[in-house]
A and B are shown apart, each in its own frame.
Chain A
Amino acid sequence: MSLADQLKVLIVDDTTTSRMLVRDGLQELGIKNISFASDGEQGLKHVMSTQTHLVISDFNMPKLDGLGLLRAIRQNGPTQKTPFIMLTGKGDKELVQKAVQFGINNYLTKPFTVPALKTALEAVVGKLK
């Protein structure tokens, strides 16, 4: 059993296309347990009720944005250390800086390639296979 087989990943993004692209990337990397949420609030509910090893979240979302989700996760004891990768657009430098303050583990610039996703993931959780 490799890490990829066991890793439970949550994708939080309000755009279906984006969710599917991340999902396809993750599946290509052999990750099987993938859940989805379409806004920060849903994401938070998922993280707080279901075991999640890694959150990959967009920044711009209705209800609760990526930063809000990140902060909520960091302030909630059991999920405080849940790895968090932020998806950002090109040129969202300020945003990444802010996200770093609040404790992201890595960020990934959209559009991304599968190797880039792999690099970003492995930098956080270690070798997938």
Chain B
Amino acid sequence: MDALRQIFFQECEEQLAELETGLLEIQSGGSDPEIVNAVFRAVHSIKGGAGAFALEDLVRFAHVFETVLDEVRKGKLAASEHVLAIMLRAADVLADLVRVARDGGSVDDARIGTATDELASLSGAPAAAHGGASETEAEEEDFAFTPVAVAFPAFDEVATEPEPAVNEFTITFKPHASLYSSANEPVVLLRELERLGEMSVACDVTEVPLLTDLDAEGSYLAWTITLKTTHCEDDVRGIFEFVDGDCDLTIEGTAGVSAAGEDEIEALLRRIREEAEAPVEDAASETIAVETAVIEAAADEFSSTDEAVAAPAPVHDAKLAIVPAEPLPAAQKAEAPKADKAASGEAAQQTIRVDLDRVDRLMNLVGELVINQAMLSQRLAEAGLSRSSDFATGLDEFEQLTRDIQEGVMAIRAQPVKSVFQRMPRLVREVAAATGKKVRLVTEGEGTEVDKTVIERLADPLTHMIRNAIDHGLEKPEVRAANGKREEGLVRLSATHRSGRIVIDIADDGAGINRPRVRAIAEDKGLIPANAQLTDEEIDNLIFLPGFSTASTISDISGRGVGMDVVKRSIQALGGRVSISSRPGEGSTFTLSLPLTLAVLYGMVVTVGDQTLVVPLTSIIETLKPKPGDVHGFGGDSRVIALRNNFVPLIDVGRELGYRTQIVDPGAGVALLVESDGGAQSALLVDAIQGQRQVVIKSLEENYGRVPGIAAATILGDGRVALILDVDAVVAGARNGGLASDNLLALAG
């Protein structure tokens, strides 16, 4: 049951997404009846599933919602702006109810009440929703329907009842020599085939050579088979599945007498749909005529086999069950175009649900494969084999394949950003309502794919940035109007792929960043000296500093104790970067650039002491060879390095991580200029650079616990383990006087 529940909630998520998308589509002018139908179906399915799990609250609310949607569907209720606003709110409540049903907790009764009343007021029905379920139940019991028992023959007959379709296939089968060499036997296949139906076989021996010319391992026989079967071609083909490619096989179907061909099905479908569209009375009454006969016949049977039937309702005359023919309501007619559209549209995408663990296991194995392949390449290089040797060529292909497999597996984990983007319209509605602003959200590139984990961890920062864009970015409607802008502010959320990364823009057409104010606040809070010379860009970036918050009053929306620094940190934790561009009076754009996967990273492999470390390439700005004159002591053991009229702290990675205690000569090593939290630059001193490569990330936390200064580990081509440096932690550690002491706290925070 638990597994079923899980599936139900998964489906609920999809239905809720469909519901919201549909409602928004209608709001933006979509008038396709299929949208309304899809929306209705979504709520209906949730109701149906919820009923199965006895989720009474959910069922009740979904029922009221469904009632209103049904009226829209039937054209009794116009989908006006007012109606849609109520329905969107109802969709939010429904989503909450689903979430509560899954995770526990409770939904504010008042909210459900309000939403229910609003919905009820639309459908014109008395707000009987709270007691609605029992009422309908009572109604149903009144409903007189007698099950129509079928003239079911005794089951022996059932078994011998002729199958509806008899197909005749002509199969020619000529094995290749490889079929025999892979231990397959034609006679076994033919026997299998015989089990499907009536079969006649002719063996073609004309190609058998003279004994002197006969190759004992050759293949000379071919068969022509006629098969009469009730099975379909796929079943026949299935028998030859394992010898596919090892034989010449043709299967020609002679359409069976009563086999329902595609054409027949199509014709029937077309007729059904036309009927649904045409004035219905005729069709209905015609059908009724047939059905009366059927039902009467069935009723005779029914009374004669009375004792075998456990009838749920008292047995009436079957005629009573027939309701007078009435014209079908509009809904029925509305379904015709929808069905046509669905039929002519592309086939539904086929998907399977796979446990995430399995994909992750596969991902891990591919990681091993990548490492293994790197090892082989390294051994090959060490063995001094020429690059043109067969072995090297084979290995190149292997490398290519490994990369393809890796990409393939990553593609499995990849998901469109739609799942996160979809949560935003609701957020926008809530924030807009709370701030009294008018906002239109436009999303682009919802289909852009990125790793599932990235998507999951993107939700919080995005939520925060959108909140900020509305709360701080957009002006009040009256201010906008005064400035000659549309009253309705625009927030654009878009995603694209750019050079192997995903780039997400959050743009608003608000007032832009108020630079004098940002500067004043930063000075006020002591984040910058009063006379600092800052470019516009540098001022904009001040909002990412910890402890900066521009909201003068902590509003309910933005003031949750987190600022843009948290956003920046969480994006950096994903190996990403945030940048701003802002024009006064025209708006701001925040750009996030993120890696497509968290499973591999591009790193610079460096030597420190006797250790090999990997520094993520995303944090490295440049590498340089320090000249002795550039390095200056700076109190205690601290040193700075002069870099283009600027001093940046020089951090000896070896000492920081405790690999050595004595001070080394910077001139003997290499400095990596890195950018860490808050945009501060530092130079990391390492002994030597080995190279740049893609490495597979292996978490240490799972098996070992968190190590200060180390983000994760990886396995190099020569089989050694190398640690991946956590640049931010190392820099922060150096600033606070050593990783070992109080930096643990900094990491925990």
Contacts and interface: CB of A to CB of B under 8 A. Distances in A.
Closest 6 CB pairs of A and B: A91-B136, A48-B260, A123-B147, A111-B51, A106-B147, A103-B291
A43 to B, nearest CB: 11
Given A83-B150, A97-B323, A101-B322, A48 B164 contact: yes
A122 interface: yes
B4 A17 contact: yes
Given A20-B4, A100-B321, A44 B147 contact: no
B294 interface: yes
B149 A68 contact: no
B44 interface: yes
Interface stretch (B95-103, B172-180, B241-249, B270-278): B270-278
29 contacts: A3-B152, A14-B45, A17-B4, A21-B4, A24-B4, A48-B268, A49-B259, A50-B165, A51-B161, A60-B41, A62-B38, A63-B342, A64-B339, A68-B273, A68-B276, A71-B275, A75-B287, A90-B59, A90-B137, A98-B323, A101-B325, A105-B150, A105-B298, A106-B147, A107-B145, A111-B52, A119-B312, A120-B312, A125-B150
B211 to A, nearest CB: 49
B324 to A, nearest CB: 9
DSSP class of B's interface residues: helix, strand, loop or mixed? Answer: helix
A42 B51 CA distance: 26
Interface in A9-58: 14-18, 20-21, 24, 41, 44-45, 48-51, 53, 58
Interface stretch (B184-192, B303-311, B374-382, B521-529): B303-311
A119 B147 CA distance: 10
B566 interface: no
A55 B625 CA distance: 78
Given A17-B8, A53-B158, A101-B288, 12 more contacts: A1-B159, A14-B41, A48-B265, A50-B164, A72-B268, A74-B291, A75-B272, A104-B148, A110-B48, A111-B54, A123-B149, A123-B309
Given A15-B45, A72-B272, A103-B287, A123 B264 contact: no
Interface string A84-110: 000001110110111011111111011
B310 A122 contact: yes
B328 interface: yes
Interface in B187-241: 230, 232
Given A74-B291, A111-B54, A48 B264 contact: yes
B140 interface: yes
A5 to B, nearest CB: 8
Interface residues of A, number: 69
B568 interface: no
B63 interface: yes
B269 interface: yes
A101 B152 contact: no
A91 B48 CA distance: 12
A90 B133 contact: yes
Contacts of B40: 60
B323 to A, nearest CB: 5
B284 interface: yes
A72 B343 CA distance: 16
A125 B66 CA distance: 33
Contact of A119 (B137, B149, B310): B310
